[in-house]
Each structure stands twice: as structure tokens, then as C-alpha cells.
Amino acid sequence: MLAASQTEAAVRLREAYDGGAIPPLRDLLAPDDADMAYAVQAANTGFWTEQGRRIVGRKVGLTAKAVQKQLGVDQPDFGVLFDDMEIVDGGRLDPSRALQPKVEAEVALILDADLAGPDISFEDVSNAVGAVAPAIEIVDSRIADWKITFADTVADNGSSAFFVLGADRKPLSGLDLWTCGMALEINGEVVSVGAGAACLGHPLNAALWLAKTLVGRGEPLRAGDIVLTGALGPMVALAPGDGVRATVGGLGAVSFRYEENR
């Protein structure tokens, strides 16, 4: 049963999708109260699934130590990926669908086995990965000016919005996801660079953290799930008309345009 403050936070966040960004939720959620924040996230996840949205995976956030330090936390967070959040590779995202979006390049995993055991290992995660793809996550805060605390971003579904998966999928075998380089371009200009090691030391470390966390919550990752493992470099703000392309070593490229559909 949600407390009145949690219910109010959930409603404010839902309404922000159409009504515009809202002030931080500090009058309702303590900045570091993870349990309360995840309860708000779960409430809205339940609301949206009842409205017909389908869960297709999870995203991991706060994988960079510098960002964790900025928000005063020592662990990542996660959010839910819904089917209507996916933008086709090479497609368009209409600016009217976003508030204050930013983009980051990531490694995406597509699972072909469940990760539901009590003692999941790095090897278990590796064995469960059916395919790997380059990805762009479009993050977007419903909190005005991105003035977020840890609780704000968790409650706000990990500040998630949309994602793009590269059409070319690779098997995990033979890939080096630790030293793989990443270049993120906007309108042909490189605006962010990074490497797999920037994501909790290795993208599979992020997936392992997520798998263990979700088992503990009784909602484990399943075969077919998409896992966005976290940013490989700094996120960059979007402006209408931008063309975005991310290239990850060994995985190839993925792109989209931030403009009206024609």
C-alpha cells in the first residue's frame, strides 16, 4: 500500500509527460530514499502496463562513478523499458514527444535465457546473452532543469524516455566489451567519447548488478529482455533537427534523427 506522498509523487510524474517538467520531488521523497523512490516507479509501471504498455526490458543508469558521486550514491539504478519507447535504427523521434532530452551511447544486451537464480555470476550473465548491439538511449527528466536527486531519477523511471538499437546484432563470443571504444556524433561532430570500461568497469558488470537486484525484488530478467547497460561516455543535450549517430568498436553503428516525422 503506497503512502499518500508516494501516490502524489507518482501522479505528478505521470502528468508531467503531458503537462511539462515539474519541480523536484523533495517535498515528497527524501533525496536518498531508494525504497520509496522504487515504490513510486513500480506504481507507475503498474499503471502503464494496465494501460496496455508492454515491458521489453530494463535500463541501468548511474553506472559512472563520477555521476554516483555527484548524486551522493554508491550504486547504479534501473528503470523499465516499454515497447513504445523503441525508435527504429535510422528512424525519427518527434521533438513533441520529449521535454528536455539528452543522448548517450551504450551497449545493449538481448537475453536468450532467464537470469533468475539465487547466486547469479558474471559467467551466468555471459551465457544468457543471445546478442549484443550498439544502442542510443534518449534520457529525459520530468524534473525541471535536470535538478535531480537519486530519489527523483529512480522515481522517474530512471530518467528514461526512448532508445534505439542497432540493426546489426553480434554474438557475445569474440567481442571485447571492456576496451571497445565509443564515439557519439551529433550532426557529424563527435560530442562524446568513451569505452566499455567506463560502464561499471565492464557492461556485463552492470548487467550482473541488474540481474541480482531484480532477483532480490522478485522480478528477474527473462529470455527476450533487452538490457541497456549504461552510458559509455558523457550524455549530450539534443536540439530539434539533430542527427545522432553512435559507433561502438566491434558492434557497429546506430542512428536516429530528432525531428518531426514526415
Q: Which pTM value belongs to this model?
A: 0.96
Which residue is listed with cell 524516455? 161
Q: What is the mean pLDDT of residues 106-125?
A: 96
pLDDT reported for residue 70: 62
Cα 103 to Cα 60, 138, 188, 236, 243, distances in angstroms:
14, 5, 15, 5, 11
CATH number of 4-258: 3.90.850.10
pLDDT in tens, 191-234: 999 999 999 999 999 999 999 999 999 999 999 999 999 999 99
**Of the candidates 255, 190, 196, 181, which has an alpha carbon nearest to the alpha carbon of residue 231?**
196
pLDDT reported for residue 75: 83
What is the rounded CA–CA span in Å between residue 209 and residue 137? 19
